[in-house]
Chain A
């Protein structure tokens, strides 16, 4: 960013920057202001930090986000690797399939997942038939269900940046590595993986940031314990109408996002600086 800006791109970036400052920064400042009741009180923070409900929700949020991002990155990487090896036409067709879950309503998807993962769902029916005994694996309305639902939504977010990184790798590098006698595994580890790292980082970051704010997937596909911070924001904003507490939860959520985002940005800056 700084490199580009110093080359006189400032005037071109300015309108977008000003707009995003206005529409994003001003409300964020308002939320910070609100969370302390106008800078006069830390009551909202103490009340939530003493609340078992809030602490549990925070733990769940972090756990779910980390695990869901990790799974999405692994799955997304495999998909992107496969897409990168297809012809351009075939790739375009497959990319539509990757985007399909993105365009489907979550209510519809949760219904479909219930049919697949449910007690009498496709998987359990098949296993019961194959093993000749009744199998009822708990695959939905628990953490497993949450992970299936979240990775289904997050994987496309990972696939696209990773794919962009993979496609940017000069094919000559692969040939050079082969000529030097490297086996496929070695090529993957020394060429593909490091060069696609910026995409992985970008994908993982978007997945993590996105999942921190999730609540409808855990609500529909999770168990009773899968309550997220976003649920609490909603509860205090719309039901209790206590905006101080809602803002305080929001500020903490914001801090969590920053914990994920800042190291990733620094790492990225380092990588770009190194090139």
Chain B
């Protein structure tokens, strides 16, 4: 590989065909010589677009490139369909995949990820332990948002029990068009203890949802709408995410409130694709991304709660305000393993229920 790379600049019209032939042979041979890739200086990272990507680059990718000399190519939008296609055809082009919980877990079940070698992370420092195929990268807090100008303290729901209590807190609410998260908050709202949330009591959750149905202004498919519906006063209270409200308060005139009294935290993972061309670099990247200083700089730049305990002390006070409290006991985490096997049947039931 390095040999070929060194010669690349000398390609000219005369020897182009010969080089092209060599390159093709190299590509065809690639699956058989994957160990030699350990020496590459490349890495492909698939992550989310927009501000998120900017934050990843500034807080994590640039320091990584500086320290290791590995050149990172950042691509937009983690898509499991593309992972499946790459692994199925044996033509793997991505190395590190930035996976929301459900994607991470379904990839693990389907065998799309490389097993993570032990010793990559300082497990003592992590609030959530690393798994066989995945390392928790950060968490995002789902919770209740409201407009404090219209609903001052005492008038707006703070916990999920409040959110599902339309008599005590009259107002039009939003819920998502998916079972994941919606069933969880319904059960938390019905008084299930966060520690006993899984396995989800699906029937009970649907009973709770049945009661709140008339008070739902909009079942939201696209996440930005969880915020814009509050801004346009179409909804009085909205189930959304702390980082979304943080960003909208920074950019817009309307200052919205977000309750940290009770949150449903989702976990974002990092994974390495099975047969990734730059596997060793990918492991290096994962290890780097979980170090306290880069957990802090990355979350500072793009939002989200670090998994590294030590990272918390490195964050600015104004960023800490937007994170769920580390030791809060009434917060729950989405259990992605539970969902990995139940997704299709539960989502189908949920969507059918929505139609009814």
Contact = CB atoms under 8 A, between A and B. Distances in A.
Interface of A: 51-53, 56, 107, 110-111, 114-115, 118-121, 140-141, 216, 219-220, 223-225, 227, 235, 237-243
B219 interface: yes
B354 A220 contact: no
A115 B234 CA distance: 9
A113 to B, nearest CB: 10
A157 B62 CA distance: 45
B222 A220 contact: yes
Contacts of B122: none
Given A140-B234, A235-B347, A238-B79, 6 more contacts: A110-B225, A118-B232, A219-B222, A224-B216, A242-B344, A243-B84
A240 B343 contact: yes
27 contacts: A51-B348, A52-B355, A53-B352, A53-B355, A114-B229, A114-B234, A119-B233, A119-B234, A120-B232, A141-B234, A219-B221, A219-B222, A220-B221, A220-B222, A223-B219, A224-B219, A224-B354, A224-B355, A227-B351, A235-B347, A239-B80, A239-B102, A239-B347, A240-B343, A241-B80, A241-B106, A242-B344
Interface in B133-151: none
Question: Chain B: interface residue count, which band?
Answer: 20 to 34
- The list of the 4 closest CB pairs from A to B, nearest first, reads A219-B221, A224-B219, A114-B232, A224-B354
Contacts of A238: 79-81
B218 interface: yes
A141 B224 contact: no
A224 B350 CA distance: 11
Nearest to B228: A111
B228 A114 contact: yes
A56 B353 CA distance: 12
A150 to B, nearest CB: 16
B351 A141 contact: no
Interface of B: 79-81, 84, 102, 106, 110, 177, 216-219, 221-222, 224-225, 228-229, 232-234, 343-344, 347-348, 351-352, 354-355
Contacts of A52: 352, 355
Nearest to A120: B233
B355 A216 contact: no
B355 A111 contact: no
Contacts of A243: 84
Contacts of B351: 53, 227
B311 to A, nearest CB: 31
Most buried by B among A114, A121, A220, A241: A241
Contacts of A118: 232-234
A110 B232 CA distance: 11
A141 to B, nearest CB: 5
A216 B222 contact: yes
Contacts of B216: 224
A111 B232 contact: yes
B247 to A, nearest CB: 15
Contacts of A56: 352, 355
